[in-house]
Chain A
């Protein structure tokens, strides 16, 4: 304990005197030379042993969190204090305000007031349906979970689908139709459109263009095709910045036709990712892939543990989970893929495993590759190679060839027709549109969703084209008055997916019907309704459009508005609504012959000595900017950088050192005469000589939450360099910008050589000594305490979290935020360490900072049996329940914060201010009615979702049946796509959680303090290739 050291350095706690916490690289180098470098570290500051980090670790909250540093005058302060003292005595008991009961006039049939209903639906992202189950209280959607019956979800769900709930209630949504900024009625709009369409009909639609995002909705596709049949000269364009052009172009090269690839990671023994971040929430099929991958990551599982090799340009969760990771430049991947293909017997030539020096033919990379090739060959039929959307078409084609050679097709891979129905070459599509606009061929442009003015390739200058009269009529259907909306004459407010009927295909092609949960909050329209207007079919209602499409599809019958459908169709329709998918709608697997003559991508500018390669990627939190105004996602710490509210210029420590740049330094990036500016984040493990920029930030018209957050990097992005820009120049601007990261906040002290908080071993170590995790620190005996031992005879709740399965996707964090009414605090408050998430995901790095391994550790409340917080609460606001829960009683809390001061896990969160928005009416509808909304001055923390426990217990008591293990799930457990979190009754020896706790990998975090945590962890086990492992060990020693 060196708190005395901190005490003896008073300047360290004096605000204003200190430098910003930054990575001092010199310090880092010196520190690493010494012996006291930690084995595991959470941030580069910790690795460097910086004084700032040490100080923050000793604090309950980061510096300034508990101080009022706002500009409030002494007089104002005295006034407030006076008032609060005067009112202090009156707040304890107050008269209840008069409240009203507003019953239904005619109560809907299935509704029981006070009991939630669940509806299956689907949230579409990038064209792919994410099957969800939506919880609704009195028809108000309050929580989104995965659909356990759907093969693409199996109950898991990604962060975007969960957080999209907040989008529906976003008070900044466009609430009415506007024409040049003035409010207009829907009928005024339809009248105008009717006139236009009549004029266009005469021209066969020659001046009509429709721009959509990626569309997989069969109904919408059919509508647009029907319109194009009416008007053969009209055109359908599609654009999303996160498009998958390369994927389909690669398939075209390999098979002569575009196909969709589906992976079966549950069947894969050896996985190679060539810069393909399949464990990232934006990867199509992510939820299912995470589940399948995690299932095979279990050393105790039935099937043998899988092995993951990753080559990657950035630092991603996939890379950190890898057994062997090789940081490479994105542009080098093609060469590696080609060499790999050649080594595996595909008839291609060229490519190599290394360029020069250390990475030469016989260098480290070559060794890596030969071990990899041997491993892949040995796993013939059970190996799979994955690559990312951003890799050029040639890499995709090579990967198809490699998978073919590995016998993956039919076992770990299936091919089907593409899921999207919209044009697959979106770059070509939007380029054609921009050319037509420039040529003055476009009379009317209908933009259905998206935000092309913000995110279209910058060399097309959509903003410029939309000014003036180059396109005489521009109509935008969108949920927000964003960058595109203001440049269109008409803006029709778009319905949220929870408000309108639609359909979509999941990654495997299964069709889900998107059914609304609630009437549109603001008389908004769906794309289907817009299309119906264009086709002069305004008589059809939203539900009819979708339902009648499928009626026609299944029975061939054409229905008119108001028609009833045949009873047998109605029955299957209702079943597909109930199940959240249409039975048998998944396309059949295709058998394809792969071509092996794969041309190389065009030569690009080589990285010079003074230039870097720029990776442009979707943001892991705001996607492509569409979630910018979503506070949950803005404040969600990015999986690797833990940044909130901003993107950054992410670079590796080596490049930062070379350029003399540190975290928070502002740099400008110049590529081909285009510029962008951003603050630097130094990320361990990022490949050298390259930087990663996430697009989607820097919105100018996102709304109150998103406007102005982060840096816009779209200006760098042109149609021919969408993902990788070579030869960019980085210039340090001299000023700094404070990035808000949660990394390093809430850190726990771990002296060198003792009790690592997150533990892992290799498969060989585990086999040799299965108890390695428990032996890392000594847990005291139960009797070694001054307090009375309490026996929990009836139920006793506990949780086990498998660190091997956790992929750091943050699904648990968003699930918890939504379930437990957790407030968003804003960037300024995050900087002060006041973020409110009840569960955080800590990242523990290990090894070389240029290529570390990392473990993710979700940390909710440990529900300690000997809870240190309970001993110090002066008002008994936190106490133990008889089922072993550490209850938190908000109405009793007076806010002394003693409890959080005494919590060794730093899981308690304090409402320093009134973070909840109690005034916005939309948010009142959104909150979970079963959880108290906390206000200022109250401590809060994870409760193991006690509202769910109570509900399950009451149901079991009423029915006089026990709670069946697995039916009661906490929100974080339900939201976890990897199934890493298991909750249940540990007194029931047959429960899953009890079995996991009996597992030899099980250990308690800081159990040596005798807190007896109910949340325990299963140590992660990696499965390195013994051949490479010995090399790596030799290097280390």
Chain B
């Protein structure tokens, strides 16, 4: 009986044995890349909003403080999205006829809310609280990025658990003095630009962060990585 497979089939078989783990690893790697890609996380993807509100203009250009609009950031879990009234505080005086702002004026006239597409959106089983982060010296732009440069609001980070834990496992990498939390121009200390806290100059973020961890009485890493810190 003639051979069914040519002898080259042996090589195919050997190649297959090699290929299976490579493929499997490739599949997992691909899955990981896919699941952490902006397609899934929405990272850095601009959304269509009823009004193309520009943080670049309002924060970067005019220098309005974060808390003028996000009023509850220091006291509540949510930073708060401003009511239409906040927009109209200024826009009843300036740009009163701009076509771009018609949705705002319509909202104010009619009493119907503006509907913003949520940019930084955590899953519903995660309970994030802005106030505690702000009070412990986590700056706005640590998570939200350079908002003052964003014409349309973008999600700066992946907001996946891995990213949260990076900081919860080593908060000293990101803490800054409370007074600097809302300062969008704040930069981490360097030799050239040290940061002074309680009369002491810090030239290194880890040193500063560690000092602040003590100063602000942060709970231990074990405490803040307990499941119920964020999930309940």
Smallest distance from the beta carbon of A970 to chain B beta carbons, Å?
13
Assess whether A930 is in contact with B232, with CB atoms less than 8 Å apart. Answer: yes
Which of B42, B78, B82, B227 touches A96 (beta carbons < 8 Å)?
Answer: B42
Of residues 85 to 140 in A, which have CB atoms within 8 Å of B's CB atoms? Answer: 93, 95-96, 98-107, 112-115
B64 at the interface (CB under 8 A from A): no
Assess whether B232 is in contact with A114, with CB atoms less than 8 Å apart. Answer: no
Instruction: Find chain B residues with CB under 8 A from A885 CB.
Output: 226, 228
Which of B39, B72, B108, B117 touches A113 (beta carbons < 8 Å)?
Answer: B72
Instruction: Find chain B residues with CB under 8 A from A414 CB.
Output: none
Which of B75, B118, B223, B229 touches A99 (beta carbons < 8 Å)?
Answer: B118
Interface string of A821-855 (1 = CB under 8 A from B): 00000000000000000000000000000000000
Assess whether A931 is in contact with B232, with CB atoms less than 8 Å apart. Answer: yes
Known contacts A98-B117, A105-B113, A113-B76: A932-B125 contact under CB 8 Å: yes
Known contacts A93-B35, A954-B132, A958-B132: A946-B81 contact under CB 8 Å: no
Assess whether A105 is in contact with B83, with CB atoms less than 8 Å apart. Answer: yes
Smallest distance from the beta carbon of A595 to chain B beta carbons, Å?
61
Instruction: Find chain A residues with CB under 8 A from B117 CB.
Output: 98-101
Q: Which residue of B lies closest to A92 (CB)?
A: B35
* Complex alpha-carbon distance, A930 and B76, angstroms: 13
Instruction: Find chain B residues with CB under 8 A from A932 CB.
Output: 124-125, 231-232
Assess whether B227 is in contact with A879, with CB atoms less than 8 Å apart. Answer: yes
Q: Which residue of A lies closest to B81 (CB)?
A: A103
Assess whether A954 is in contact with B129, with CB atoms less than 8 Å apart. Answer: yes
We find that the number of chain B residues with CB closer than 8 angstroms to chain A is: 47
Assess whether A103 is in contact with B118, with CB atoms less than 8 Å apart. Answer: no
Smallest distance from the beta carbon of A116 to chain B beta carbons, Å?
10
We find that the number of chain A residues with CB closer than 8 angstroms to chain B is: 42
Interface centre among A100, A114, A794, A891 (most CB of B within 10 A): A114
Assess whether B111 is in contact with A105, with CB atoms less than 8 Å apart. Answer: yes
Known contacts A114-B72, A115-B76, A932-B231: A947-B116 contact under CB 8 Å: no
Q: Could you write out 12 A-B pairs with CB less than 8 Å apart?
A: A100-B117, A103-B84, A103-B114, A104-B113, A105-B113, A112-B76, A882-B226, A885-B228, A932-B231, A933-B124, A954-B129, A957-B217
B188 at the interface (CB under 8 A from A): no
Assess whether A954 is in contact with B84, with CB atoms less than 8 Å apart. Answer: no
A8 at the interface (CB under 8 A from B): no
B62 at the interface (CB under 8 A from A): no
Known contacts A105-B83, A113-B80, A958-B131: A100-B107 contact under CB 8 Å: no
Which of A95, A113, A891, A950 touches B228 (beta carbons < 8 Å)?
Answer: A950
Q: Which residue of B lies closest to A97 (CB)?
A: B121
Instruction: Find chain A residues with CB under 8 A from B75 CB.
Output: 112, 115
Of residues 147 to 162 in B, which have CB atoms within 8 Å of A's CB atoms? Answer: none
* Complex alpha-carbon distance, A113 and B75, angstroms: 10
Instruction: Find chain B residues with CB under 8 A from A114 CB.
Output: 72, 76-78, 80
Assess whether B84 is in contact with A106, with CB atoms less than 8 Å apart. Answer: yes
Assess whether A957 is in contact with B135, with CB atoms less than 8 Å apart. Answer: yes
Which of B80, B107, B222, B232 touches A950 (beta carbons < 8 Å)?
Answer: B232
* Complex alpha-carbon distance, A107 and B86, angstroms: 9
Assess whether A930 is in contact with B127, with CB atoms less than 8 Å apart. Answer: yes
Assess whether B223 is in contact with A794, with CB atoms less than 8 Å apart. Answer: yes
Assess whether A891 is in contact with B84, with CB atoms less than 8 Å apart. Answer: no
Known contacts A113-B78, A950-B127, A960-B217: A106-B231 contact under CB 8 Å: no
Assess whether B107 is in contact with A946, with CB atoms less than 8 Å apart. Answer: no
A721 at the interface (CB under 8 A from B): no
* Complex alpha-carbon distance, A889 and B121, angstroms: 20
Instruction: Find chain B residues with CB under 8 A from A98 CB.
Output: 117-118
* Complex alpha-carbon distance, A365 and B115, angstroms: 74
Instruction: Find chain A residues with CB under 8 A from B114 CB.
Output: 102-103
Interface string of B41-77 (1 = CB under 8 A from A): 0100000000000000000000000000001100111
Known contacts A105-B113, A954-B129: A889-B231 contact under CB 8 Å: yes
A-B contact count (CB 8 A): 134
Query: B residues near A, CB below 8 A?
Result: 35, 39-40, 42, 71-72, 75-78, 80-85, 107-108, 111-118, 121, 123-125, 127, 129, 131-132, 135-136, 217, 219-220, 222-223, 226-229, 231-232
Which of B39, B123, B136 touches A891 (beta carbons < 8 Å)?
Answer: B123
A1000 at the interface (CB under 8 A from B): no
Which of A102, A882, A891 touches B113 (beta carbons < 8 Å)?
Answer: A102
Instruction: Find chain B residues with CB under 8 A from A949 CB.
Output: 228
Assess whether A105 is in contact with B228, with CB atoms less than 8 Å apart. Answer: no
A898 at the interface (CB under 8 A from B): no
Instruction: Find chain B residues with CB under 8 A from A887 CB.
Output: 226-228, 231-232
Which of A100, A106, A115, A930 touches B85 (beta carbons < 8 Å)?
Answer: A106
Of residues 856 to 886 in A, which have CB atoms within 8 Å of B's CB atoms? Answer: 879-883, 885
* Complex alpha-carbon distance, A825 and B147, angstroms: 47
* Complex alpha-carbon distance, A93 and B35, angstroms: 7
Instruction: Find chain A residues with CB under 8 A from B232 CB.
Output: 887, 930-932, 943, 946-947, 950
Instruction: Find chain A residues with CB under 8 A from B85 CB.
Output: 104-107
Q: Which residue of A lies closest to B161 (CB)?
A: A891
Q: Which residue of A lies closest to B32 (CB)?
A: A93
Q: Which 9 A-B pairs have the closest CB atoms?
A: A881-B226, A114-B76, A114-B78, A104-B83, A887-B227, A114-B77, A107-B83, A887-B228, A103-B81
Known contacts A114-B78, A882-B226, A950-B232: A106-B129 contact under CB 8 Å: no
Instruction: Find chain B residues with CB under 8 A from A891 CB.
Output: 123, 125, 231
Q: Which residue of B lies closest to A106 (CB)?
A: B85
* Complex alpha-carbon distance, A863 and B219, angstroms: 22
Assess whether B231 is in contact with A881, with CB atoms less than 8 Å apart. Answer: no
Assess whether B112 is in contact with A105, with CB atoms less than 8 Å apart. Answer: yes
* Complex alpha-carbon distance, A954 and B39, angstroms: 34
Assess whether A106 is in contact with B83, with CB atoms less than 8 Å apart. Answer: yes
Q: Which residue of B lies closest to A958 (CB)?
A: B135
Smallest distance from the beta carbon of A330 to chain B beta carbons, Å?
48
A431 at the interface (CB under 8 A from B): no
Smallest distance from the beta carbon of B165 to chain A beta carbons, Å?
14
A890 at the interface (CB under 8 A from B): yes
Smallest distance from the beta carbon of B200 to chain A beta carbons, Å?
21
* Complex alpha-carbon distance, A93 and B39, angstroms: 12
Which of A105, A112, A889, A933 touches B72 (beta carbons < 8 Å)?
Answer: A112
Smallest distance from the beta carbon of B197 to chain A beta carbons, Å?
17
Assess whether B228 is in contact with A881, with CB atoms less than 8 Å apart. Answer: yes
* Complex alpha-carbon distance, A105 and B108, angstroms: 6
Assess whether B118 is in contact with A947, with CB atoms less than 8 Å apart. Answer: no
Instruction: Find chain A residues with CB under 8 A from B227 CB.
Output: 879, 881, 887, 889, 892
Smallest distance from the beta carbon of A1020 to chain B beta carbons, Å?
32
Instruction: Find chain B residues with CB under 8 A from A933 CB.
Output: 124
Q: Which residue of B lies closest to A98 (CB)?
A: B117
Q: Which residue of A lies closest to B129 (CB)?
A: A954
Assess whether A93 is in contact with B40, with CB atoms less than 8 Å apart. Answer: yes
Smallest distance from the beta carbon of A649 to chain B beta carbons, Å?
44
Q: Which residue of A lies closest to B76 (CB)?
A: A114
Interface string of A937-959 (1 = CB under 8 A from B): 00000010011011000100110
Assess whether B116 is in contact with A103, with CB atoms less than 8 Å apart. Answer: yes
Smallest distance from the beta carbon of B104 to chain A beta carbons, Å?
10
* Complex alpha-carbon distance, A685 and B124, angstroms: 49
Smallest distance from the beta carbon of A952 to chain B beta carbons, Å?
12
Assess whether A882 is in contact with B223, with CB atoms less than 8 Å apart. Answer: yes
* Complex alpha-carbon distance, A104 and B136, angstroms: 29
